[in-house]
Amino acid sequence: MNIGVLGAGQLGRMLALAGYPLANRFTFLDTTGHPSAGIGDVMIDTDRKHLEAFLEKVDLVTYEFEHLPVSLVQAIEEHKPVHPSSEAIRICQNRAEEKALFDRLGIPTPAYRLVESVTELEAAARELGTPVVAKSVTEGYDGKGQAVVKDPAEASDVWRSINHPRLIVEAFIDFVREVSIIAVRGRDGEVVFYPMAENQHVDGILRYSIAPMPDLDDSVQQVADGYIRSLLDELDYVGVLTLELFQARDGGLLANEMAPRVHNSGHWSIDGAVTSQFENHLRAIQGLPLGDTSARMPTCMVNVIGREGESAEILALPDAHLHRYDKSERAGRKLAHVNLLAPTHAELLERVRACAALLPEAPEPRFSFE
């Protein structure tokens, strides 16, 4: 089967690597003019002149990047199956729509306000209590399009820096850790869940994901499974969905945002799970049985950002698996990731620290269970 992928970055690259053993072929449609997949058949189409040729080549379409024109995805749906659907993209692109969906399904979130002016931003900061996080309602990812308001008097500067006509303002919460739950829903409605991961971000960019968590109560995993299942069913979703959450000190979970695709916090599954998120996404969209999501052993994904280390040194570490994206170095750019496995979490943490020491721009790994 020839699978069309909207977007041509490292997520598409990893989808293709997972799909070749299933005899899948891949055609990527890049709308940015800067593809980096380095694999499969890449078509650059910044003006929609090649869309018809793309559709003639593929049997079904998925995407590795949700910041796409919804109208483009809707146009493709008129000709080929698209999984996940354009409705999932439409909601995930708009933080106001996303929060409304969470509210409707009873999925708790940090307190928030929608604002459309400097005056409203200042009022929301006073009402919610500073500090608050202000985010553009549309666009923005990996920390872009957002800022912290530490005092209501900063509202004017923050409004100007984000430069967007509508913002969502969220209260800070006293959370223990950032976590994520990844689930997969098949075309027949079957759903499987991956173990939750604990994530460490620096400057809005994911640096470390560890799964499974050694101190996670089964009831918390079940709550997260319930939240993401309700989203999957409500959207009649097919494929991998990710829900990012905060875990509060009382153990409760608050939803941050969701991503309608394979996700950076699930890269650990390539080497650490029986079936990776990438293979399971391809199984789901093709109507194949979903694979086992259980972890083989404790695993940590280390993102390589900005500058790469020496491959030979990294690969000399025990049970280390390096996944390079064949990209040029640039500040803040995701260049690769390393998956580290160990029989125990204590041994895993030793290996993570050893790996971080080999990476030029890796921050100190910090996990809540240490």
Q: Which residues contact 196 (CB under 8 A, 6 or more apart)?
A: 179, 180, 181, 211, 212, 213, 216, 220, 221, 224
Q: How far apart are CA 296 and CA 282, in angstroms?
A: 21
The reply to whether 150 sits in an annotated binding site is no
Confirm whether residue 350 is marked as ligand binding: no
Q: How far is residue 114's CA from residue 340's CA, in Å, rounded to a whole number?
A: 41
Q: Find out whether 27 and 14 touch, Cβ atoms under 8 Å.
A: no
90 is in an annotated binding site: no
User: Is 291 known to sit in a ligand binding site?
Assistant: no
What is the SS3 assignment for 170? strand
321 has binding-site annotation: no
The answer to whether 142 is annotated as binding is yes
* Residue 52 is labelled as binding a ligand: no
Q: Which two tokens stand for residue 291?
A: 């694979």
Contact status, residue 299 vs residue 198, Cβ threshold 8 Å: no
Q: Is 79 annotated as a binding residue?
A: no
User: Is 171 marked as a binding-site residue?
Assistant: yes
User: Is 256 annotated as a binding-site member?
Assistant: yes
- Does the annotation list 170 as a binding residue? yes
154 annotated among ligand-binding-site residues? no
Cα–Cα distance for residue pair 279/17, rounded to 1 Å: 9
- Would the annotation count 63 as a binding residue? no
140 annotated among ligand-binding-site residues: yes
Strands 2-6 and 60-63: parallel
Give the pair of three-digit tokens for residue 205. Answer: 């960019």
Integer-rounded Cα Rg, in Å, for the chain is 20
**Cα–Cα distance measured from residue 201 to residue 197, given in angstroms and rounded to the nearest whole number:** 13
Judge if the upstream peptide bond of residue 131 is cis by omega within 30 degrees of 0. Answer: yes
Quote the CA–CA distance of 281 and 291 in Å, as a whole number. Answer: 10
Report phi then psi at 259, rounded to 5. Answer: -130, 125
141 carries a ligand binding annotation: yes
Instruction: For residue 273, give the DSSP letter.
Output: B
Nearest-CA neighbor of 39 among 24, 22, 54, 53?
A: 24
Which long-range contacts (C-beta less than 8 Å, at least 24 apart) are formed by 345-350? 345/210, 345/214, 345/298, 345/369, 348/210, 348/298, 348/299, 348/300, 349/300
Q: Is 334 annotated as a binding residue?
A: no
178 in a labelled binding site: yes
With beta carbons less than 8 A apart as the criterion, state whether 349 and 179 touch. no
**Which residues contribute to the annotated binding site for ATP?**
95, 135, 140-146, 170-173, 178, 201, 256-257
**Which residues contribute to the annotated binding site?**
95, 135, 140-146, 170-173, 178, 201, 256-257
